[in-house]
Structure 1
Amino acid sequence: MKAPEGPGFINLLASLEQGLGSAKALNPEPPLATLPPEVVAGYRHVVVWLIDGFALDYLAYAPSLRADLALQLETVFPSTTASAITSLFTGMSPAQHGLLGWQTYLPQQDRTLTVLPARETDHAGHSVALSSKSLNARIHPLPLVNRLSRKSTIVSPAQIAHSPYNRLMSGCARVIGYDDLEQLPALLGAHVRSVGQAPHYTYLYWSHLDHLGHECGPSSPEVREHLAAIDATYARMCGELLGTDTLLLTTTDHGMRAVNQRLDLRQAPAVCACLRHPLTGEPRAALAHVRPGRHRQFRHAMEAHFGNRVEIIAMADWLSGNAFGTGIAHPELQARAGDYLLLPDEDSYLVNPAGDDAGPCFLGAHGGLTRAEREIPLFRRSLRHAS
């Protein structure tokens, strides 16, 4: 079984990896035909702004960004931040870096890793924070910036800029934290002008839109209001960067879709009895690790409790189609992926909280294969000359 095919986020990363002068290209996919590496290499400064959770449907509320829409891409699978951002930081597909969603099963530790907040959880739901050293021992990242011929800067919200995950993924890059969206145009303009004439790469991240999509829903007034603020920031950012010989690429890690049906695995004890580990992955793309000899029982219990609300796909079929991407697979990919991929229907999401944890409640979600989750925009603006 294969995931949808088309110009992809991973092809954009190939354009960046090669165009920014990677000493060792780890991404086997071809660059975007509309953004060849020589075009990227021709700019003194390349800025990539990733706006977490920017769905294609949001274009209606962002006219400045919409005017610079260059391409529609397909993001990685699963269509989620932990997988896609790690791909951007490393230049590698999820199959290569091995982080398969918000939560990833670690077979050596027999624990669940929630990589972005750097926490590890046992079967009973007991969670501990990981230091940068411990997290590094779990994921062994290969930061893209360490392979580039040009210097790099990572610009992130202050609360996560120096987190264990960000510290590892930032590699040799300079790290800048900031507090508010409104700061970005002046901060970025000053930064680009301060680095001099040497070629430079800057990655910029903004996360609040994704939070609003989850909590309020993708069609909510809160999301629309924030999109207006993002769009105004983009217009000001372009003004600040005029004449700096900058290529500004703005994109996202995944889309967002409205959901209204919460499926709680704890209400299906016959299913839980078949699992050797709590579900990992994503609520819209869950990974099931099943006890030996319980596979038939697991499938029957899933069908009896959830009916056709959850599609059950044997992981062997999924992996054979390179659905997590191409390249040399992570040595633990098969063990981390488990036995089955569970895909809820378009309106549903599946949770499996442990212990006293109530688990997430969403009005918007992502991670799956629908257009709203998988297809993403790429915006492009050349700021080579002052107007």
Structure 2
Amino acid sequence: MIKKELLPDYNNCLVNLANSVLKKFGAETTAATLPLADKILAGNYKNVVVLLLDALGISILEKHLKPEGFFRSHLAGAFNSVYPPTTVAATTSIMSGLYPNEHGWLGWDVYYPQLDKNVTVFRNTEQKSEKAVAQPESYDASGKPIWTEDSWNEIVPAADFHVGNTFTPYKSVVDKINEAGGKAYSSMPFLPPYPQDLEAILNRIKNLCDEDGQKYIYAYWNEPDATMHATGTVSNETHEMVTALEKRIEQFASELSDTLLIVTADHGHIDSRNLCILDYPEIMNCLVRSFSLEPRTMNLFVKDEFKESFHELFRKTFGDKFLLLTRKEVLDCQLFGIGQNRPELDQMIGDFVALAVSDTSVTNTHFEAQKMPGMHAGLTQEEIKIPLIVVKK
């Protein structure tokens, strides 16, 4: 069984921040609010802006930024992501005010029992998979194989409709506030008017803030996550990205007035040692289908004849790198949240769920293992602990 202190504090997390915003704007809440945020939101501001910078966890702030710098000097406190601490689950939680066990957007790839498919929910495609005859394109000087995208099967649409929005729909905080008679807006690349870079996102926020009336604005940008996936958490590229973000947001904040700006993250990030599950035929032989969710949170559907022996085989294969829980243990410990479980949750999570408690991650394809030295979605504090940065203008 899992120690409770390893899990996110589900009364001190992104879900609670979203519910503090709902409460502030007179909309119905679905979970407890975040006391720290309630105190900050008590002020009477014309604009409340929540800007989420993907993967800017506490550990990333501490690795790259000075305590006296803009972000860390405005740090009101630390709080938690959700589980798994990953963009799909966490941004859906802050956008909906719901726990992952309620909204069902559990990870990058989600098993939908209605289709009997693993679906990459944000892209509405079937999960990436490797060709049965795939070979490395070449080898480096040390003999290490070099894989490319050519090793993947063709990526195809999951359905002729949006699977996530159809089977796991939710009402956003923005919509709830608007329906309650308030004003709320989004500024991110995936929603109208689709600002595609940070400058466009910030320009939209500024223009909305200049309009009359009290309002809430939720904004999202995909850095420093994209850079860290490609280069790790301590690379020069990551350092330049994080310091540039701090500088740009400080400049942006100076242009605001009568505005409460909250900067936060969906999760943190770690440097990862990546393995590919295809290199473990004994494990593969036990599985009904490829695992989904995340490389650091694997849901495993096991053939009936291997269910009793699987725990021992998994431990023999991966040692103490992962914590392997049964479906019952996952549901009993409320791993995915303390809200009302979705009816199909037990089918979505498989027979076992493996939670990364070290720097080891497991991917479904060799190319994914090779191309992502930075990872998240596991059960470490580096991944779970996120900042509440508060700027009052």
TM-score by length of structure 2 reads 0.84
Instruction: Output the CA distance in 2 between the equivalents of 1:128 and 1:37.
Output: 47
Question: Residues 97 and 300 of structure 1: is their aligned pair in 2 closer, same or farther, counting only changes over 3 Å?
Answer: same
Instruction: Output the CA distance in 1 between the equivalents of 2:34 and 2:318.
Output: 40
Alignment partner, residue 172 of structure 1: none
Q: What are the within-5 Å matches in structure 2 for residues 90-239 of structure 1?
A: 90-121=96-127, 127-129=155-157, 130=159, 133-148=162-177, 149=180, 150-157=182-189, 161-162=190-191, 175-193=192-210, 195-197=211-213, 199-239=214-254
> Where in structure 1 are there 5+ consecutive unaligned residues?
163-174
What secondary structure sits across from 1:177 in the alignment? coil
- The offset of 1:59, in angstroms, is 2.3
RMSD: 2.3
What secondary structure sits across from 2:19 in the alignment? helix
- The offset of 1:92, in angstroms, is 0.3
2:269 to 221, 236, 256: 256
Amino acid paired to 2:376: H
Instruction: Output the CA distance in 2 between the equivalents of 1:132 and 1:235.
Output: 41
Structure 2 contact 357–378 (Cα < 8 Å) conserved: no
What secondary structure sits across from 2:353 in the alignment? strand
**Residue by residue, what CA displacement relative to the aligned partner does 1:109-165 show, whole Å, maximum 9, x if unpaired?**
1101111112134988664325665542232222222211322221113xxx24xxx
Instruction: Output the CA distance in 1 between the equivalents of 2:308 and 2:207.
Output: 61
Amino acid paired to 1:47: V
Question: Residues 186 and 307 of structure 1: is their aligned pair in 2 closer, same or farther, counting only changes over 3 Å?
Answer: closer
Structure 2 contact 356–379 (Cα < 8 Å) conserved: no
Answer yes or no: is 1:21 the counterpart of 2:26: yes
Structure 2 contact 45–259 (Cα < 8 Å) conserved: yes
- The offset of 1:176, in angstroms, is 3.2
Structure 1 contact 181–230 (Cα < 8 Å) conserved: no
Instruction: Output the CA distance in 2 between the equivalents of 1:308 and 1:271.
Output: 16
Instruction: Output the CA distance in 1 between the equivalents of 2:265 and 2:235.
Output: 19
Instruction: Output the CA distance in 2 between the equivalents of 1:84 and 1:327.
Output: 15
Amino acid paired to 1:333: L
Greater Cα shift, 90-99 or 179-188: 179-188
2:76 to 63, 70, 79: 70
Aligned length: 357
- The offset of 1:186, in angstroms, is 4.3
Alignment partner, residue 358 of structure 1: 367
Structure 1 contact 344–350 (Cα < 8 Å) conserved: no
Question: Residues 117 and 8 of structure 1: is their aligned pair in 2 closer, same or farther, counting only changes over 3 Å?
Answer: same
Question: Residues 73 and 219 of structure 1: is their aligned pair in 2 closer, same or farther, counting only changes over 3 Å?
Answer: same
- The offset of 1:185, in angstroms, is 4.5
Q: What are the within-5 Å matches in structure 2 for residues 12-91 of structure 1?
A: 12-22=17-27, 24-26=28-30, 28=31, 30-36=32-38, 39=41, 42-60=44-62, 61-62=64-65, 63-91=69-97
Q: What are the within-5 Å matches in structure 2 for residues 364-379 of structure 1?
A: 364-379=374-389
What secondary structure sits across from 1:359 in the alignment? helix
Structure 1 contact 274–291 (Cα < 8 Å) conserved: yes
**Residue by residue, what CA displacement relative to the aligned partner does 1:226-250 show, whole Å, maximum 9, x if unpaired?**
11211111111111112xx221111
Amino acid paired to 1:280: S
Instruction: Output the CA distance in 1 between the equivalents of 2:259 and 2:312.
Output: 56
> Where in structure 2 are there 5+ consecutive unaligned residues?
131-152
Question: Residues 38 and 132 of structure 1: is their aligned pair in 2 closer, same or farther, counting only changes over 3 Å?
Answer: farther
What secondary structure sits across from 1:36 in the alignment? helix
More strand by share: 1
Instruction: Output the CA distance in 1 between the equivalents of 2:243 and 2:221.
Output: 14
Answer yes or no: is 1:316 the counterpart of 2:332: no
Percent identity of equivalent pairs: 28
What secondary structure sits across from 1:276 in the alignment? coil
- The offset of 1:189, in angstroms, is 2.0
**Residue by residue, what CA displacement relative to the aligned partner does 1:349-373 show, whole Å, maximum 9, x if unpaired?**
01123xxx73343211110111110
Structure 1 contact 153–202 (Cα < 8 Å) conserved: yes
**Residue by residue, what CA displacement relative to the aligned partner does 1:286-322 show, whole Å, maximum 9, x if unpaired?**
1111122321232233233223333322221121111
Instruction: Output the CA distance in 2 between the equivalents of 1:35 and 1:122.
Output: 39
Question: Residues 240 and 77 of structure 1: is their aligned pair in 2 closer, same or farther, counting only changes over 3 Å?
Answer: same
Structure 1 contact 68–380 (Cα < 8 Å) conserved: yes
Question: Residues 186 and 103 of structure 1: is their aligned pair in 2 closer, same or farther, counting only changes over 3 Å?
Answer: closer
Instruction: Output the CA distance in 2 between the equivalents of 1:215 and 1:358.
Output: 12
Instruction: Output the CA distance in 2 between the equivalents of 1:360 and 1:267.
Output: 11
Structure 1 contact 251–377 (Cα < 8 Å) conserved: yes
Amino acid paired to 2:367: A
